[in-house]
Amino acid sequence: MSRVALVTGGSRGIGAAISKKLQADGCSVAATYAGNDEAAAAFSAETGIKTYKWNVADYDSSKAGIAQVEADLGPVEIVVANAGITRDAPFHKMSPEQWQQVIDTNLTGVFNTVHPVWPGMRERKFGRVIVISSVNGQKGQFAQVNYAATKAGDLGIVRSLAQEGARAGITANAVCPGYIATEMVMAVPEKVRESIIGMIPAGRLGEPEEIARCVAFLASDDAGFVNGSTISANGAQFFS
Ligand code: CAA
């Protein structure tokens, strides 16, 4: 598979594993990041994958950034909307700012990432859109009204895009990771994290590479008839 792939939030955590896996499968990969220059530089040095800095919450920055990626690598054929943040708080303590930041990045960020590449995919009659949702978008989560709303929204996005893109050779699917061993999950207080692991029948956190392999399948030519679906990879924590 020699295609151009764009991975947002692609230099750290699950996104970094996705970038590396798509590169190993033969793609030319562009990985975006929002702010951590040091991590992005280390990632590029390690992998040779070019990184691009923009804020997915900003439409104009996303559009300009994607234009640069396409000038450098060619038309984007695979887009992985992975960038996401948490601003966890029980609802009675959640501020409007915490709500809005998560909506802007996790939900509007998906629109801003996919919308600029969509016309080209339609014209070329090929595209793979993969959105990284979450088990917490499927089941809800204490202290994550904002995050769960965006991750449930992701499923609505892919199910709608799937219907719009199917005749144009474009698929849109979601992956719902459970709790994966990344900085995001490690930021959860240890006692809470331990109790969450106790609720995962697999008895462990997932590895970023386990999510990357799901994405690689959805990105592959083999997955052309898989459209509007959700792969849950959560160690049997939740079934939907
Ligand atoms: N279910 C039920 N009750 C819970 C709970 C839960 N999951 N988590 C916390 N509580 C309770 C506590 O026991 C405590 O109760 P008491 O007051 O009776 O002792 C109360 O809620 C916490 O109240 P606080 O005022 O102390 O809460 P806080 O303002 O300090 O917030 C927190 C703490 C933000 C909720 C913190 O516990 C936390 O971060 N929890 C984890 C939330 C979570 O799972 N986030 C997922 C992050 S990973 C991710 O998002 C990736 C992915 O896709 C899976």
Q: What is the pLDDT of residues 53-66, one digit of tens each?
A: 999 999 999 999 99
Q: Which residues line ligand 1 (CB under 6 A)?
A: 86, 88-90, 93, 134-136, 141-144, 147, 179, 184-185, 188-189, 192
Mean model confidence pLDDT for the chain? 97
For ligand 1, atom 6, the nearest C-alpha belongs to 142
Separation of alpha carbons 3 and 128, rounded Å: 10
Distance CA 7, CA 29 (A): 7
SS3 (DSSP) at 133: coil
pLDDT at site 197:
96
Structural domains present in the chain? 4-233 (3.40.50.720)
Average pLDDT over residues 106-134: 98
Pocket test for ligand 1, best of 142, 145, 183 (most atoms within 8 A of CB): 142
Q: For residues 89 and 96, give the distance between their C-alpha atoms in angstroms, rounded to a whole number.
A: 11
Q: How many residues are present in the chain?
A: 240
Orientation of helix 37-47 relative to helix 13-24, angle to 10°: 20
Predicted confidence band at 1 (pLDDT cuts at 50, 70, 90)? low
Q: Higher model confidence: residue 42 or residue 1?
A: 42
Residue 240 has pLDDT above 90, yes or no: no
Decide if pLDDT at 43 tops 60. yes
Considering only the C-alpha atoms of the chain, give the largest distance between any 2 of them, rounded to a whole number of Å: 51
Q: Which helix (H) or strand (E) holds 129?
A: strand 127-132
Q: Are 176 and 135 in contact (CB under 8 A)?
A: yes
- Per-residue pLDDT tens digits for 173-227: 999 999 999 988 999 999 999 999 999 999 999 999 999 999 999 999 999 999 9
d(C-alpha 108, C-alpha 131), whole Å: 12
Over residues 28-52, mean pLDDT: 96
Q: Is the pLDDT of residue 164 over 60?
A: yes
Indicate the pLDDT class of residue 2, thresholds 50, 70 and 90.
Answer: confident
Of ligand 1's atoms, which has the minimum distance to the CA of residue 88?
A: 34
Residue 137, SS3 per DSSP: helix
